[in-house]
Amino acid sequence: MRNVLVTGAHGQLGSHVIDLGTSSGSPVRGVGSAELDITDEAAVAAAVAPGSVVINCAAYTAVDAAETDEVAATAVNGHGPAVLARACADVGAALIHVSTDYVFAGDATQPYPVDARPDPRSAYGRSKLLGEQAVRAILPSAHVVRTAWVYTGEGNDFVATMRRLERDRDTVRVVDDQLGCPTYARDLAAGLLELAFRADSDPVPGGILHATNGGEATWYDLACAVFAGVGADPHRVLPCTSDEFVRPAPRPAYSVLDGQSWSAAGLTPLRPWREALEAALGALDAHA
Ligand SMILES: NC(=O)c1ccc[n+]([C@@H]2O[C@H](COP(=O)([O-])OP(=O)(O)OC[C@H]3O[C@@H](n4cnc5c(N)ncnc54)[C@H](OP(=O)(O)O)[C@@H]3O)[C@@H](O)[C@H]2O)c1
């Protein structure tokens, strides 16, 4: 089994990759930004072992801040993946690079296939697209795995925020005109590890893959499901439009990703989003 190096290991996704990998006894090592800055060429070259697999979960993810700090976002999301891809290419390591639905315009009416034309509308989306392009140009055997609406239920993510608001407020207004795929970080982590360990026995050809939990939802749908999941009345969630919550970076109105490429590669499809949310809420309760 190949050694796996996870960058951005203290983030939402990276921490679940490490947790799942180590709990299953897999040779997984995580590095946070303090131990490995993915934009540091010498440090990255020293960290990537020959024949290993790198899962890049490191990113500049402050979508709104990126609008006024595109240089910083591009350094991490555009240049960083290029540095990783070069280091992997130099020593024969494999690379799995995580990307986002924000590379698309978000004005589709049906799920985006992997070969749909990217057309990012935000600085974050542009920076992530640069990273995808660099990875694919430098290391064609690499996998670019796009995902969307990732949550753990901890910290300040959407699910955690809804759990908190359910306790603090009578009602909460949530936008009901953006459609996407809520994705439990742990399910995506399992998918990334499955892809990584296929590198030995039955490698998946390099290219772009889409990995999200199944189905689609609006933020309002997700909020109602969180309320119901914690035993609260979902009618306390009130639908509203994006116009009522204007943010610095535009949000895609429709960014559902088509997971056909993932299942066609023989990878286990991520379960439907409602099942995943139920599991996530159960895990949070168990750890409370
Ligand atoms: N969250 C979502 O809804 C979502 C949706 C679609 C795609 N994605 C993608 O999924 C991946 C994982 O995102 P996430 O939600 O886990 O984000 P996250 O929680 O913000 O984690 C990102 C991690 O990257 C680290 N990082 C930042 N700059 C770095 C650098 N120069 N070198 C090394 N590490 C650096 C951060 O460390 P510090 O905190 O120490 O800076 C942080 O721990 C990203 O590629 C993201 O674009 C996320």
Higher pLDDT, 251 or 44: 44
What ranges do the domains of the chain cover? 4-152+183-214+254-271
Q: What is the pLDDT of residue 201?
A: 84
Q: What is the pLDDT of residue 155?
A: 93
What value does the mean pLDDT of the chain take? 96
Q: Which CATH architecture has domain 4-152+183-214+254-271?
A: 3-Layer(aba) Sandwich (3.40)
CA of 61 to the centre of ligand 1 (A): 5
Q: What is the pLDDT of residue 74?
A: 98
User: What burial class does residue 4 get, using C-beta atoms within 10 Å of its C-beta: 0-12 exposed, 13-18 middle, 19+ buried?
Assistant: buried
Q: What is the pLDDT of residue 288?
A: 72
Among 17, 57, 71, 99, name the best residue to mutate to test ligand 1's pocket (greatest count of ligand atoms within 8 A of Cβ).
Answer: 57
DSSP string, 28-55: EEEE-TTT--TT-HHHHHHH--TT-EEE
Instruction: Give the residue whose CA is nearest to atom 15 of ligand 1.
Output: 12
Cα separation, 288 vs 276, in Å, equals 18
Mean pLDDT of 103-129: 97
**pTM for the complete prediction?**
0.97
Spatial contact of 77 and 131, defined as CB atoms under 8 Å apart: yes
Question: Could you list the active site residues?
Answer: 124
Higher pLDDT, 288 or 280: 280
Single-letter amino acid, residue 14? G
Residue 213: strand, helix, or coil: coil
What are 220-277's pLDDT values in tens digits?
Answer: 999 999 999 999 999 999 999 998 888 899 888 999 999 999 999 999 999 999 999 9
CA of 238 to the centre of ligand 1 (A): 30
What percent of the chain has a predicted confidence (pLDDT) above 70?
100
**Quick check: CB of 213 below 6 Å from ligand 1?**
no
CA of 153 to the centre of ligand 1 (A): 16
Instruction: Give the residue whose CA is nearest to atom 43 of ligand 1.
Output: 11
**pLDDT higher than 80, residue 1:** no
